Every structure is written in structure tokens, then in C-alpha cells.
């Protein structure tokens, strides 16, 4: 009986020859990541010192801290938090990535997405490192376990395997694939499991697309998502890898809790209607709905592929009168690439507000909506109050749909723009 | 197993699948830190008389994938403030589960629980026997065993105490 990639990674970090789903193990994460956030890092840093007497972490190279929320700070208290984070990383000799972009993306850029590695964070969207064969989990408050102790207690998860076949039609993107998956499998389909993405279509998919899909895994109930890293993934990840590890792969006879196949060629653009990420609907049923603002960005969808799709729609066009479009590349590296390709010029010329990378648009800290307003968003989430007033609404969609909706001031199909 | 059995009434049944716990206090109150205020806001949409009806030790019952969405801690902090001692559901969303177990707040995954109880039934969670007893109706139903680490965390009363205990035995 074979093993899944997840079982192989967890066996190695638990110091065991093999583990099976259901086993309870003590696993030593290769990397422990976090972004500074009140109630998380400030509390953890204090607890480490006061409750555990840890003045300095034992293996600083295992830790990575990001400043990506509250960037730029809008109050002295926020800047104080960042100051505390800078002090902690200096004292602990831990790498700090400030203003480089959203940490989950920067993690890949700087090599924490080491194929075969086990990574923990408090935030579940770190699952996107799974694109590169990295097992990356969000532990919420329990990440303290990884800061204060060497090992974390974990029950080896079962795996649901989804095989992607066929080719995506124009105007349909990775966002549509993921939300289609939530629709057909269900928002509880992968509870406490790993979502393993495979199948022949993966080879033709960009890292960007797979990061989108794996980064949203939590909305299927999964604890993370992972891809068996092919040549395209390894070409990106291995030269940057922060640790020498042999990539591992699921065996052909690995045991899965369930197996599904999705034919990409049959997908259409979707929208996820408020107030739940479980509400996948066909875009065609919502065309014409008035929209006031748009957010193109986030750790899920603000990469160069998303920027290109939006720019293709926006080139030579203007954002509708009264529509507030915010374009926020996920990282500085992506922003530079977008500038070189002339995409930033397209956005600015169309009337978009183009911002340096920040997490703050995704949760309404800036570009905040008033009651009654409605957004299209490529952000992670559409729950009530996520981008401002509890009485505002968020429709999640892909970057092309977002751009077409910005042009029309209402939910719009991007395909006429892309084909014409 | 040294954990004391939970015993109380079913203070509320959340029928909704994929229930977003933030709805308990309403998103507009999610940043309220004053527990009395938060408790006053809690359950207004569901049962305005909830706070006055609840007794210490009472329990909540939920449907499948309880805690889905983007769960915050204040709703269940308010519930504990009002005396709620635990949640039993058909199944849980992992992020919510992890968060509440880390607070030392008992969560019990019990397929069939929704049909097994009526509101205000007296029930008991027997940790050793791994079953829920409906003391009002005289029936019993098994619940899913918790991972060892989760049980240890509940026994310790939460993440911090659990880790401190481990820290003494396995220093980094």
C-alpha cells in the first residue's frame, strides 16, 4: 500500500519510516512563518519570553516573519506593532520581509516553498505553498506550539485527490476552477483532509494558477492543498529552496479518501455571491448587477497572470464613471514585472487606483465600503463586513470578470472583450 | 481520562449547515471586547431571551460543518461568558475546531446529534464512554473520538497550559 505526498512529508518530519492517515505524530516543521498581527505575533513574542523563558529561538533559520498587513500604517499603534516585530526579529536573528508583498506569495519567491518541506503559519492561506510540493498548514493560535516548542502535535490527514483534465476556455481562470470545485465537491468535502491537485491539465497550468487554487483550499474544509511538483514547479522552487530536501511524490497506489475529476474545458466564469465562500453561482445569472467598486489583488489572485487578464480587458478602455477600481499586485516582484510589461500603464490610463502590495484591501482596512455598496473582488473572502460595512456586499470572481465589470459598472462577461 | 463530564441543557440548536459563528454576535459587534456588551449582542437574531434563559453548564448543538467561513473568537467568548460549556455538532469546520479547542472550549463531533436532542433536553457528554446521553429521553449516542493532543489541550484548559506542561518535559 503506497503513501500520499502528505504522508511522506509528515513521516520525515516526525522521524518515522512511514505514517498513515489517522496516525497522531509529533512533527518538526521545517519552517515556521507568520505575519505580524495584533493578538497573534505580539502575543506570541511576549508568551515566548514570559511563559517559556525563550529569549532567542534556537534555530533562527527555521523562522520567517512578514510585515504585509497594516502597510502602510495609519496609526501610531500600528507602527508600534511593526516596531515590536522588527525588534523581535533583530534580537532573534530571524529573517523579516517587510513591504515585499503579501507574505504567502513572498514565501514562494524567497524559497520557503521548498518541495518536500513542512511549513506552519497561523493563517491558512499559506496552503498555496502546496503548489510546489510543500505541505503548508495554518494552525491559527496553535502556531504558538511551533514557536515555543520544537514539534507540533498533528493527526496525519487523509487526502482527497482532484484530477484536472482538459484546457480552460478563454475568460475562465483558476479562480473559476477553485470555486467550481467548492460547488461540485461541497464546502465540507475535504474537512480535516489535504486537497491534492493532480491530473494531466496541471502540467499546462502556471504557478500563479495553482497558487490560486491551493491558496483557497480552506473553503473546501481542507487543512491544506498540495501538488506533486512537476518540472515546471521544480524549475521555480529548487533554485530558491532554503533547505536541501528531496522532493517527494504520492505513490500510484496511495490511498485516497475520495477521488474526483474536473474537466476544465467545460467550465464557465462563476461568481461567489455574498455572504459565504460556499455560494458559487454561474456568472451568467448575475450579469448586469450594479457594482460600485473592485479589488484586483490578494494572496489568492493578484499575480502576473491576473494582471495580464485584467489589462487585456482594460487596454484602451476606461473604468465606468463612479466605479472605484483598486489594483494591487501581490508582491513587489509582481509589480515590477507588471510595470515592465506595460500593465501598470494600462491600469492607470483606465482610471484604476494602483497600489503597492498590501493585505489591507482584502479585509476592508482601506478602500472601505459604506452600507449598500457592492464590490467585485479577487480577494479571498466574501463574508459580511469583510471589506467594510456589514451591509455592503462582495462578489468574488476572476480577474477578467472583475475588469469587465469595472468597465461596465455592473457584473459583466469578459469574453466579448477578450475575443474582440 | 480525568476530564469532568459535561452536563447541561441544550440551550440552542443551530440548524444551518456551514454555520458561520460570527452571526451569533453579528459582524458589526465582532470587535467588541467588553464581554457584557458582547453577550448582550449575542443571539439577538436567533432568540432575544437567550442570555436570561441560559444556565452555567448548558451546551450548544450544531449541524454539519459548524464554524465554516472566517470564524473569529468573540462569539464563543460571549457564549462562555454566559455559561455555555461546550458545543456538539454533526461535524465541524477545521479552522473553527482548532481555534476553540485551543481556547480549552470542548467541541464534540457527534453524527446524529441534531435529531438526537430537542432544545432544553438535559444531556451529558461522557468522555470515558465516548457517548452523549440524552437524560431527558433516556437515550445514548456515540461521538467521534478526539485526537489525543486535542483532549490533552481540553484537559489542560487550553493551548497555553498544555504547551507549558509539554515544555517542561521536552525543552527545545
CATH number for the region A9-16+24-263 comes to 3.30.499.10
CATH number at residue B33: 3.20.19.10
Q: Give the E-state strand segments of A267-363 in sequence order.
A: 270-272, 280-282, 293-296, 324-327, 353-354
- Where do the structural domains in chain A lie, given as residue ranges? 9-16+24-263, 271-419
Mark yes or no for CB contact B164/A149 under 8 Å: no
Chain B hits for A191, Cβ within 8 Å: 65, 91-94
DSSP β-ladder status, A258-263 and A374-377: unpaired
Contacts of A385 in chain B (CB under 8 A): 27-28, 30
Q: What digits encode the pLDDT tens for the residues B98-147?
A: 999 999 999 999 999 999 999 999 999 999 999 999 999 999 999 999 99
Complex confidence, ipTM: 0.94
Q: Which residues of A touch B109 (CB under 8 A)?
A: none
A141 to B159: CB separation less than 8 angstroms, yes or no: yes
Does A275 contact chain B (CB < 8 Å)?
A: yes
Q: How far apart are CA A301 and CA A404, in angstroms?
A: 16
- The SS3 call for residue B85 is coil
- Does residue A388 sit at the B interface (CB-CB below 8 Å)? no
Q: Which residues does chain B have within 8 Å of residue A148's beta carbon, measured at their own beta carbons? A: 163, 167, 172
B167 within a domain of the structure (yes/no): no
- Chain centroid to CA A351: how far? 27
pTM over 0.90: yes
Residue A99 CB contacts under 8 Å (≥ 6 apart), including other chains: A67, A68, A71, A332, A356, A357
Smallest Cα distance from B80 to chain A, Å: 18
**Which residues in chain B are contacts of A51 at CB distance < 8 A?**
160, 164
- The per-residue pLDDT for A1 is 86
Confirm or reject contact between B136 and chain A (CB < 8 A).
no
Dihedral Cα A386, A390, A392, A398, nearest 10 deg = 20
Please name which of A140, A40, A123 lies closest in space to residue A85, comparing C-alpha atoms: A40
| Alpha carbon separation from B77 to A176, A417, B73, B84 (Å, rounded) | 36, 49, 6, 9
Question: What does each C-alpha distance from A21 to A10, A120, A155, A221, A256 come to in angstroms?
Answer: 10, 19, 7, 16, 9
Q: Report the gap between the CA of A108 and the closest CA in chain B (Å).
A: 23
Q: Does B100 touch chain A (CB under 8 A)?
A: no
Is B121 part of any domain? yes
Which of B65, B102, B164 faces A191 most closely, judged by CB atoms? B65
Q: Residue A187: which of B65, B99, B166 has the nearest Cβ? A: B65
How close are the terminal C-alpha atoms of chain A, in Å? Answer: 52
**B136/chain A closest Cα distance in angstroms:** 31
Report yes or no: B171 and B156 within 8 Å, Cβ to Cβ. no
Q: Residues 28 to 57 of B: which have CB under 8 A from any A CB?
A: 28, 30
CB of A73 less than 8 A from some CB of B: no
CB atoms < 10 A from the CB of A321, how many? Answer: 7
Closest partner residue to B159 (CB to CB) among A24, A144, A277 is A144
Task: Tell me the chain B residues in contact with residue A223 when contact means C-beta distances shorter than 8 Å.
Answer: 94
In A166-309 the beta strands, taken as DSSP E runs, fall at 194-198, 224-227, 258-263, 270-272, 280-282, 293-296
Is B168 a member of any domain? no
Question: A188–B18: do the CB atoms touch at under 8 Å?
Answer: yes
Residue B168: per-residue pLDDT: 87
Closest CA of chain A from B149, distance in Å: 6
CB distance A221–B94 less than 8 Å? yes
Does B172 map to a domain? no
**Closest approach of B68 to chain A, Cα-based (Å):** 8
Flag whether pLDDT at B1 surpasses 60. no
Residues on chain A touching B64 (C-beta within 8 angstroms):
188
- CA A409 – CA A406 distance, rounded (Å): 5
In a domain, B117, yes or no: yes
| Tally of domains within chain B | 1
In a domain, B119, yes or no: yes
Q: How far is A154 from chain B (nearest CA, A)?
A: 8
Helix or strand run (H / E) with residue B74: helix B74-81
Residue A321 is predicted with a pLDDT of 97
Q: Is residue B83's pLDDT more than 60?
A: yes
Cell of A204: 499546462
Helix (H) or strand (E) holding B167: helix B159-169
* Grid cell listed for B100: 476553540
Task: For residue A384, list chain B residues with Cβ-Cβ distance below 8 A.
Answer: 22, 27
**Which neighbouring-strand residues pair with A226?**
A196
Q: Which strand ranges, in their side-by-side order, compose the sheet holding B122-126?
A: B107-109, B86-89, B59-62, B6-14, B122-126, B131-134, B139-142
CB contact under 8 A, B148 and A153: yes
| Partner residue facing A142 (CB), from B22, B92, B159 | B159
* Residue A406 CB partners (closer than 8 Å, separation 6+): A291, A294, A314, A319, A320, A323, A325, A350, A352, A376
Q: What whole-number distance in Å separates Cα of residue B70 and Cα of residue B96?
A: 8
Interface test with A, best of B159, B164, B166, B171 (most A CBs within 10 A): B159
C-beta atoms of B27 and A384 within 8 A:
yes
Q: Is the domain defined by A271-419 classed in CATH 3.40.50.200?
A: no
Tens of each residue's pLDDT in chain A, 420 residues: 899 999 999 999 999 999 999 999 999 999 999 999 999 999 999 999 999 999 999 999 999 999 999 999 999 999 999 999 999 999 999 999 999 999 999 999 999 999 999 999 999 999 999 999 999 999 999 999 999 999 999 999 999 999 999 999 999 999 999 999 999 999 999 999 999 999 999 999 999 999 999 999 999 999 999 999 999 999 999 999 999 999 999 999 999 999 999 999 999 999 999 999 999 999 999 999 999 999 999 999 999 999 999 999 999 999 999 999 999 999 999 999 999 999 999 999 999 999 999 999 999 999 999 999 999 999 999 999 999 999 999 999 999 999 999 999 999 999 999 986
Q: What one-character-per-residue DSSP string does B13-55 give?
A: EE--TT--GGGGT-GGGTT---HHHHHHHTTTTT-TTHHHH--
Among A49, A142, A219, pick the best mutation site for testing chain B contact (most B Cβ within 10 A): A142
Inter-chain residue contact A142 with B170, CB threshold 8 Å: no
Residue-number span of the structural domain to which B18 is assigned: 6-146
Q: Which three cell numbers stand for residue A388?
A: 467594510
Amino acid at each position: 500500500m503506497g503513501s500520499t505526498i502528505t504522508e511522506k512529508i509528515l513521516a520525515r518530519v516526525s522521524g518515522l519510516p512511514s505514517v498513515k492517515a489517522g496516525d497522531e505524530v509529533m512533527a518538526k516543521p521545517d519552517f515556521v512563518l507568520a505575519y505580524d498581527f495584533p493578538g497573534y505575533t505580539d502575543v506570541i513574542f511576549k508568551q515566548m519570553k514570559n511563559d517559556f523563558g525563550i529569549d532567542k529561538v534556537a534555530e533562527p533559520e527555521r523562522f520567517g516573519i512578514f510585515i504585509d498587513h497594516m502597510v502602510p500604517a495609519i496609526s501610531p499603534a500600528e507602527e508600534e506593532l511593526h516596531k515590536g516585530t522588527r525588534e523581535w526579529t533583530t534580537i532573534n536573528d530571524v529573517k523579516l520581509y517587510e513591504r515585499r508583498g503579501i507574505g504567502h506569495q513572498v514565501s514562494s519567491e524567497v524559497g520557503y516553498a521548498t518541495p518536500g518541506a513542512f511549513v506552519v503559519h497561523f493563517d491558512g492561506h499559506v496552503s498555496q505553498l502546496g503548489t510546489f510540493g510543500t505541505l503548508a498548514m495554518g494552525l491559527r493560535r496553535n502556531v504558538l506550539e511551533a514557536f515555543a516548542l520544537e514539534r507540533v502535535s498533528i493527526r496525519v490527514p487523509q487526502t482527497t485527490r482532484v484530477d484536472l483534465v482538459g484546457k480552460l476556455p478563454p475568460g475562465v481562470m483558476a479562480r473559476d476552477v477553485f470555486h467550481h470545485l467548492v460547488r461540485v465537491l461541497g464546502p465540507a468535502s475535504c474537512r480535516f483532509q489535504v486537497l491534492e491537485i493532480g491530473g494531466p491539465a496541471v502540467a499546462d497550468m502556471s504557478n500563479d494558477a495553482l497558487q490560486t487554487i491551493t491558496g483557497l483550499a480552506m473553503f473546501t474544509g481542507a487543512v491544506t492543498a498540495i501538488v506533486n511538483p512537476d518540472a515546471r514547479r521544480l524549475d521555480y522552487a529548487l533554485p530558491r529552496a532554503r533547505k536541501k530536501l528531496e522532493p517527494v511524490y504520492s505513490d500510484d497506489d496511495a490511498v485516497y479518501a475520495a477521488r474526483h475529476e474536473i474537466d476544465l474545458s467545460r467550465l464557465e466564469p462563476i461568481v461567489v455571491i455574498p455572504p459565504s465562500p460556499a455560494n458559487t453561482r454561474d456568472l451568467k445569472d448575475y450579469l448586469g448587477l450594479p457594482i460600485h467598486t473592485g479589488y484586483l489583488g490578494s494572496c489568492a489572485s493578484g499575480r502576473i497572470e491576473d494582471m495580464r487578464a485584467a489589462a487585456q480587458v482594460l487596454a484602451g478602455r476606461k473604468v465606468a464613471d463612479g466605479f472605484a477600481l483598486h489594483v494591487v499586485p501581490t508582491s513587489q516582484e509582481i509589480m515590477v514585472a507588471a510595470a515592465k510589461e506595460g500593465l501598470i500603464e494600462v491600469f492607470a490610463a483606465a482610471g484604476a487606483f494602483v497600489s503597492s502590495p498590501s493585505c489591507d484591501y482584502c479585509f476592508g482596512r482601506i478602500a472601505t465600503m459604506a452600507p449598500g455598496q457592492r464590490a467585485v473582488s479577487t480577494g479571498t473572502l466574501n463574508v459580511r463586513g469583510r471589506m467594510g460595512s456589514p451591509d455592503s456586499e462582495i462578489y468574488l470572481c476572476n480577474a477578467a470578470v472583475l475588469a469587465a465589470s469595472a468597465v461596465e459598472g455592473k457584473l459583466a462577461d469578459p469574453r466579448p472583450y477578450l475575443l474582440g | 481520562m480525568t476530564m469532568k463530564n459535561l452536563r447541561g441543557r441544550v440551550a440552542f440548536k443551530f440548524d444551518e449547515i456551514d454555520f458561520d459563528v460570527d452571526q451569533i454576535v453579528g459582524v458589526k459587534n465582532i470587535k467588541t471586547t467588553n464581554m457584557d456588551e458582547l453577550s448582550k449582542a449575542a443571539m439577538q437574531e436567533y432568540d432575544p431571551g437567550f442570555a436570561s434563559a441560559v444556565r452555567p453548564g448548558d451546551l450548544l448543538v450544531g449541524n454539519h460543518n459548524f464554524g465554516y467561513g472566517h470564524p473569529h473568537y468573540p462569539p464563543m467568548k460571549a457564549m462562555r461568558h454566559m455559561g455555555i460549556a461546550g458545543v456538539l455538532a454533526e461535524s465541524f469546520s477545521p479552522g473553527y475546531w482548532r481555534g476553540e479547542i485551543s481556547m480549552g472550549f470542548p467541541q464534540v463531533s457527534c453524527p446524529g446529534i441534531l435529531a438526537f436532542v430537542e432544545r432544553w433536553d438535559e444531556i451529558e457528554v461522557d468522555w470515558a464512554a465516548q457517548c452523549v446521553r440524552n437524560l431527558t429521553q433516556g437515550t445514548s449516542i456515540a461521538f467521534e473520538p478526539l485526537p489525543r493532543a486535542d483532549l490533552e489541550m481540553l484537559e489542560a484548559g487550553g493551548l497555553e497550559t498544555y504547551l507549558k506542561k509539554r515544555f517542561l518535559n521536552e525543552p527545545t
